């Protein structure tokens, strides 16, 4: 797969992202900040720092322990309705997460701490089965995506985590940068258009480099987990996407 070129940096939110959208995104991320912290504490997932003797790749989740037809084990939904949006399915012996959102915009997250310095490269598979109607992430009234992934990094508790969000957009060009939640969520268009939407696509990003560039920080933090979002609430429509094989590697 040919990787998209590095996105250009933006110092302000793009025109058209309204206050209501920023507020909704801020509410989402504040809620997820609480969910991630609570999940890490309750599940005992505070991982030890990676060392040179560690594996070359760590599995964040491959859904192998999930029950088919149910919300995935060790994941949390921002709202209870999200448990109906995201379910584990099996295809050809492989399990994956399917999302079908009907007029909803609810995230699901997996608390999993790892060092971005030691394991900077994030890989996963996704399939955008149905894009939300008239979606265009550059505009506040149509800010939906068929299959998005967040890398979550702890931040001030009152505002929720920082996040790098990788979206598959139907209309926004690959490489374009967007911003929301007062700049705490930096968005990169990783894939664009309907080509290949019905087939699994392997994604590979350097989350460490993206985080450092987007937030203008030299240190590589520890990630607190990942989140996915398939949403169809702006405007209300149906969106569907699949996710599988979340891994972090050394390079």
- pTM (whole model) above 0.85: no
Residue 205 in tokens: 């990003």
- Across-strand partners of 216? none
Contact 243, 99 (CB under 8 A): yes
In a domain, 211, yes or no: yes
HEC string of 136-199 equals CCCCHHHCCCCEEEEEEECCCCCCCCEEEEEEEECCCCCCCEEEEHHHCEEEEEEEECCCCCCC
In a domain, 149, yes or no: yes
Backbone region of residue 182 per phi and psi (left: phi > 0; alpha: psi in -120 to 50; beta: other values): left
In a domain, 11, yes or no: no
Q: Is 60 helix (H, G, I), strand (E, B) or coil?
A: strand
The residue with tokens 């060790």 is 74
In a domain, 111, yes or no: yes
Boundaries of domain holding 65: 19-249
In a domain, 1, yes or no: no
In a domain, 75, yes or no: yes
CATH number of the structural domain spanning residue 68: 2.60.120.260
Short-list 63, 138, 98, 72, CA closest to 239: 98
In a domain, 200, yes or no: yes
d(CA 83, CA 71): 6
Q: How many domains are there within the chain?
A: 1
In a domain, 242, yes or no: yes
Per-residue pLDDT of the chain (251 residues; tens, 9 = 90+): 333 333 333 333 333 333 344 555 555 555 555 555 454 444 443 343 444 446 999 999 999 999 999 999 999 998 999 999 999 999 999 999 999 999 898 999 999 999 999 999 999 999 999 998 888 888 877 788 889 999 999 987 656 789 999 999 999 999 999 998 889 999 999 999 999 999 999 999 999 999 999 999 999 999 999 999 999 887 788 999 999 999 999 98
């Amino acid at each position: 797969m040919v990787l998209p070129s590095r996105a250009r940096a933006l110092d302000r939110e793009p025109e058209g992202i309204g206050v209501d959208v920023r507020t909704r995104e801020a509410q989402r991320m504040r809620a997820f900040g609480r969910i991630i912290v609570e999940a890490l504490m309750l599940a005992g997932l505070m991982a030890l720092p990676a060392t040179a003797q560690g594996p070359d790749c760590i599995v964040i989740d491959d859904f192998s322990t999930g029950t088919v037809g149910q919300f995935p084990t060790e994941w949390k939904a921002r709202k209870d309705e999200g448990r109906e949006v995201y379910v584990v399915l099996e295809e050809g012996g492989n399990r994956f997460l399917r999302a079908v959102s009907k007029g909803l915009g609810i995230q699901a997250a997996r608390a999993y701490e790892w060092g971005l310095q030691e394991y900077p490269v994030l890989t996963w598979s996704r399939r955008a089965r149905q894009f939300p109607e008239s979606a265009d992430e550059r505009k506040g009234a149509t800010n939906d995506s068929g299959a998005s992934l967040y890398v979550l990094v702890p931040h001030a508790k009152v505002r929720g985590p920082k996040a790098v969000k990788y979206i598959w957009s139907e209309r926004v060009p690959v490489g374009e940068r967007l911003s929301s939640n007062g700049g705490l969520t930096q968005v990169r268009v990783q894939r664009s258009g309907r080509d290949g939407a019905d087939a699994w696509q392997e994604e590979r990003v350097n989350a460490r480099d993206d985080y450092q560039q987007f937030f203008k920080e030299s240190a590589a933090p520890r990630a607190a987990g990942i989140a996915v979002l398939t949403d169809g609430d702006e405007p209300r429509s149906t969106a569907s996407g699949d996710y599988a094989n979340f891994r972090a590697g050394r390079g």
